[in-house]
Amino acid sequence: MKVAELYRQKSFVFSIEIYPPKTQESLERLKIKLKEFRSYHPDFISVTYGAGGSTRENTHELASYIQNDLGIEAMAHLTCVSHTRLEIETLLEQFHQSGIENLMALRGDPPSGKNHFQRPSRGFAYAVELIESIRALNGFCIGAAGYPEGHVENPDKEADLRHQKAKVDAGAELLVSQFFLVNEFFLKWRDRLHRGGVRVPIIPGLLLPSSAEALFRMSKLCGVSIPGSLRAKLERFADDPGALKEIGWNHLEAQTESLLREGIEGVHLYALNRLETVRRFSQLIQPVSGRHDTYSENPEKYSIAENSKIPMTV
Ligand code: FAD
């Protein structure tokens, strides 16, 4: 089933993102773990696409396993990195042959050490071009990435917002946000997109911020703000994994509980392949299993004034 249909049918969609391991051995281990993911009832699982090498093939294998062996809707990610248009067409055909109906279409990051993405020879420079080319085949449901604090490479936040909308105009049927740690960024971004005419589900991407070093690195790389109070706690307990875990969970719980009151249509959990994260997070979202109105149905109710200050939860 196309995941856009899931958002139409359900008032809350729980999705999980995983990444493909590098070796065949770890891939097989992950497949076993994924059987247990099933007990936590994800509506779909998305599988990231690496910068190159064997993990790219593993994206296909994992997505196919999720779709066909586990019976859970799979979404395969695909990037423009190092691909010609022709290669993309071949990959799309392979995904189609494997019964995969959902794709997350991305540009991908510039190679490490480079500030700017270079269009691959005979390939695509931006995600919007990839989306147009997938849409031309008219068989896949397409998701795209969005950035509540703006994409890190683009200092012009208004232009960046227009580029995010362009992906929807080109055929993306949902926008999944990069992780964020302050809900206000997401809520204002959602309102701005809505005011700009975006009418697809805008889904918060959430991460458990429990590793100080990794979080500081990622937030710098992705341009994501860390609230001062969270940063201070993570720094203070940097050498205490047990305390970091609880600090992370306290933050994620507060963030999620507050978002659940904002008409969100689902959550995309950056699970980092961790079963324990999926298990504990699935308990957090139990209260929304019933019917409730959503932002798409009632945007006025959930929109926030541009200058309002949502009380920070942590
Ligand atoms: P784009 O939408 O193309 O935007 C990239 C930059 O170009 C932005 O700064 C934008 O403002 C600018 N831009 C866009 N269109 C134009 C235009 N027409 N003219 C001028 N400027 C323009 N990376 C991976 O490698 N593999 C993954 O599996 C993966 N999964 C992800 C999943 C999610 C939900 C998210 C949020 C990110 C993911 N990423 C992944 C990271 C993503 O590839 C990077 O954030 C990348 O830098 C941008 O990708 P994009 O698709 O948003 O690019």
pLDDT tens, residue by residue, 127-176 = 999 999 999 987 999 999 999 999 999 999 999 999 999 999 999 999 99
In a domain, 138, yes or no: yes
Tokens of 229: 């109070």
Task: Please state the separation of Cα 71 from the chain's center in Å.
Answer: 21
Neighbours of 80 (CB within 10 A): 23
Nearest to 208 by CA among 151, 150, 272: 272
Give the torsion sign (CA, 26, 28, 31, 33): negative
In a domain, 311, yes or no: no
**How far, in Å, from the CA of 293 to the mean position of ligand 1?**
30
Model pLDDT, residue 307: 60
* Whether pTM exceeds 0.75: yes
Q: How confident is the model at residue 52 (pLDDT cuts 50, 70, 90)?
A: confident
Model pLDDT, residue 53: 80
Helices 241-260 + 228-236 axis angle, to 10: 160
Q: How far apart are CA 136 and CA 90, in angstroms?
A: 14
**How far, in Å, from the CA of 292 to the mean position of ligand 1?**
32
Q: Give me the domain span that covers residue 94.
A: 3-302
Model pLDDT, residue 293: 87
Q: How far apart are CA 157 and CA 173, in angstroms?
A: 22
Write down the mean pLDDT value for the chain.
Answer: 94
Atom of ligand 1 nearest to the CA of 159: 11
pLDDT tens, residue by residue, 56-95 = 999 999 999 999 999 999 999 999 999 999 999 999 999 9
Neighbours of 312 (CB within 10 A): 16
Amino acid of residue 209: P
**How far, in Å, from the CA of 127 to the mean position of ligand 1?**
6
Cα within 13 Å of Cα(167), Cβ side? 29
Q: How confident is the model at residue 123 (pLDDT cuts 50, 70, 90)?
A: very high
Position 314 pLDDT exceeds 70: no
231 Cβ inside 6 Å of ligand 1: no
**How far, in Å, from the CA of 145 to the mean position of ligand 1?**
6
What CATH number has the domain bearing residue 46?
Answer: 3.20.20.220
Q: Ligand 1, residues 48, 91, 130, 163: which to mutate, most atoms within 8 A of Cβ?
A: 163
In a domain, 142, yes or no: yes
In a domain, 145, yes or no: yes
User: What are phi and psi for residue 261, nearest 5 degrees?
Assistant: -90, 5
Active site residue 173: no
In a domain, 125, yes or no: yes
In a domain, 307, yes or no: no
Atom of ligand 1 nearest to the CA of 166: 15
106 Cβ inside 6 Å of ligand 1: yes
225 Cβ inside 6 Å of ligand 1: no
Q: How many domains does the chain contain in total? A: 1
User: What are phi and psi for residue 256, nearest 5 degrees?
Assistant: -70, -45
In a domain, 312, yes or no: no
Model pLDDT, residue 84: 97
Strand partners, 270: 17, 207
DSSP string, 23-81: SHHHHHHHHHHHHHHGGG--SEEEE---SSTHHHHHHHHHHHHHHHTS--EEEEEEE-T
User: Residue 109 class from Cβ within 10 Å (0-12 exposed, 13-18 middle, 19+ buried)?
Assistant: middle
Which residue matches tokens 């009151």? 261
In a domain, 194, yes or no: yes
